[in-house]
């Protein structure tokens, strides 16, 4: 897997769904999401429980759309940003299905989707689900400051998406499938500003994209679109610069989920969006539906993660970044 993994049996995408918060519902992709909650607590008693409920909702809607009983999912791969990944484990508690917890910060959707594809492709599972989430309110108070503090945010900061995306893979033929994936390496160029995640993750995205093109013997022109996870404005520009040094120009086909989900000018999100739920909800709410409509036939989904914690930042550590790529194709 230093090498690209080319799947043999086309793990198919049976269904997918996205559940998001109010602000995401008011953004440019608002109409795409399967469920938009009107308040941050979603009927729960804490933001952490609300985040679990987001995951449950996304998975249940994906199951409903795929005419799949939750109990018939052979394995669920899930992750989130909360300490000890509690959004995922508490969301899965009732389902009583085999559970694999994964952690890749905001890259988690690409990681869980890769592993799910691998398990279905190899026959270890007939049906596998990949789910991730984030919640602005649970993330802010865990990573930064209590919301009530009203802290000023610098221009490079990104807004954590309140949302969850779920994708169900299966062995029976559907209209799209996972064709390849490449697991990322940790890249750390020494960025220490926890308010500039885009800069911390861009080098990892550049490394994985560069390796992917090299190993797959393809280039940007071979894809209808290349979606990065949540580099935001600052991170995207840095990615162009880093790839440019390698003679690669992805600008004609590049989109960043962190720049798609909000209207930056109107919604006050500074450099864009972020969070495990950002790329996951854009994938399940926008990218995959557009593929099925015929807009895209062959795309790269490259979610990026910043593997820091408040503890590592307080101890003066720089921010390790990671990015994984999943190649999704539409069936002919």
Cβ proximity to a second copy: between 45 and 332 the closer is 45
Minimum distance from CB of 260 to a second copy (Å)?
Answer: 25
167 and 288 Cβ atoms separated by less than 8 Å: yes
Minimum distance from CB of 30 to a second copy (Å)?
Answer: 30
Cβ proximity to a second copy: between 63 and 182 the closer is 182
Minimum distance from CB of 79 to a second copy (Å)?
Answer: 7
Residues of this chain that interact with a second copy (CB under 8 A) are 1-3, 5, 45-46, 48-49, 73-75, 79, 81-86, 89-90, 92-93, 95-105, 111, 115, 118-119, 121-122, 124-125, 128, 142, 182-188, 307-312, 315, 317, 320, 322
273 and 161 Cβ atoms separated by less than 8 Å: yes
Cβ proximity to a second copy: between 142 and 216 the closer is 142
- Count of beta carbons in the 10 Å neighbourhood of residue 150: 7
CA atoms within 13 Å, Cβ hemisphere of 240? 12
Q: How many whole angstroms separate alpha carbon 29 and alpha carbon 282?
A: 8
Local structure of 310: helix, strand or coil:
helix
Residue for token pair 């003066």: 316
Cβ proximity to a second copy: between 126 and 298 the closer is 126
Minimum distance from CB of 94 to a second copy (Å)?
Answer: 9
Cβ proximity to a second copy: between 73 and 261 the closer is 73
Minimum distance from CB of 159 to a second copy (Å)?
Answer: 19
Minimum distance from CB of 123 to a second copy (Å)?
Answer: 9
87 and 80 Cβ atoms separated by less than 8 Å: yes
Cβ proximity to a second copy: between 215 and 297 the closer is 215
Give buried/exposed letters for 288-311 (b at 16+ CB in 10 A, else e).
Answer: beebeeeebeebbbbbbbbbbbee
As a residue count, the chain comes to 332
Minimum distance from CB of 26 to a second copy (Å)?
Answer: 28
- Count of beta carbons in the 10 Å neighbourhood of residue 286: 23
Q: How many whole angstroms separate alpha carbon 30 and alpha carbon 273?
A: 14
- Count of beta carbons in the 10 Å neighbourhood of residue 277: 39
16 and 167 Cβ atoms separated by less than 8 Å: yes
Q: How many whole angstroms separate alpha carbon 281 and alpha carbon 20?
A: 7
Minimum distance from CB of 125 to a second copy (Å)?
Answer: 5
Closest CA to 95 of 125, 52, 153, 152: 52
Cβ proximity to a second copy: between 117 and 259 the closer is 117
Cβ proximity to a second copy: between 183 and 202 the closer is 183
Cβ proximity to a second copy: between 27 and 104 the closer is 104
Residues with Cβ within 8 Å of residue 116, at least 6 apart in sequence: 11, 75, 77, 125, 128, 129, 130, 167, 169
Minimum distance from CB of 167 to a second copy (Å)?
Answer: 17
74 and 169 Cβ atoms separated by less than 8 Å: no
């Amino acid at each position: 897997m230093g090498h690209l993994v080319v799947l043999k049996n086309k793990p198919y995408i049976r269904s997918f769904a996205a559940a998001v918060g109010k602000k995401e519902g008011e953004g440019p992709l608002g109409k795409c999401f399967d469920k938009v909650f009107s308040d941050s607590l979603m009927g729960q008693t804490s933001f952490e429980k609300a985040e679990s409920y987001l995951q449950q909702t996304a998975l249940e809607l994906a199951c409903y759309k795929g005419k799949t009983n939750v109990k018939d999912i052979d394995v669920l791969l899930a992750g989130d940003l909360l300490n000890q990944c509690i959004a995922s484990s508490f969301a899965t508690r009732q389902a009583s299905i085999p559970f694999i917890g994964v952690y890749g910060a905001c890259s988690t959707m690409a990681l869980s989707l890769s592993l799910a594809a691998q398990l279905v492709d190899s026959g270890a599972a007939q049906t596998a689900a990949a789910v991730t989430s984030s919640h602005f309110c649970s993330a802010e108070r865990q990573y930064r400051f209590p919301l009530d503090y009203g802290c000023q945010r610098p221009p490079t900061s990104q807004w954590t998406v309140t949302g969850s995306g779920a994708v169900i893979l299966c062995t029976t033929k559907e209209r799209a499938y996972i064709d390849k994936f490449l697991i990322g390496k940790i890249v750390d160029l020494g960025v220490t500003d926890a308010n500039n995640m885009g800069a911390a993750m861009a080098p990892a995205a550049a490394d994985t994209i560069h390796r992917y093109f090299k190993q797959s013997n393809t280039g940007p022109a071979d894809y209808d679109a290349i979606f990065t996870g949540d580099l935001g404005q600052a991170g995207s520009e840095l990615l162009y610069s880093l790839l440019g040094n390698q003679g690669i120009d992805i600008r004609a086909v590049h989109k960043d989920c962190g720049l798609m989900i909000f209207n930056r000018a109107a919604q006050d999100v500074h450099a864009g969006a972020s969070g495990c739920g950002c790329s996951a909800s854009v994938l399940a709410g926008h990218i995959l539906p557009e593929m099925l409509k015929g807009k895209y036939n062959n795309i790269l989904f490259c979610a990026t993660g910043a593997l820091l914690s408040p503890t590592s930042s307080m101890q003066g550590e720089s921010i390790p970044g990671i990015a994984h790529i999943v190649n999704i194709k539409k069936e002919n």
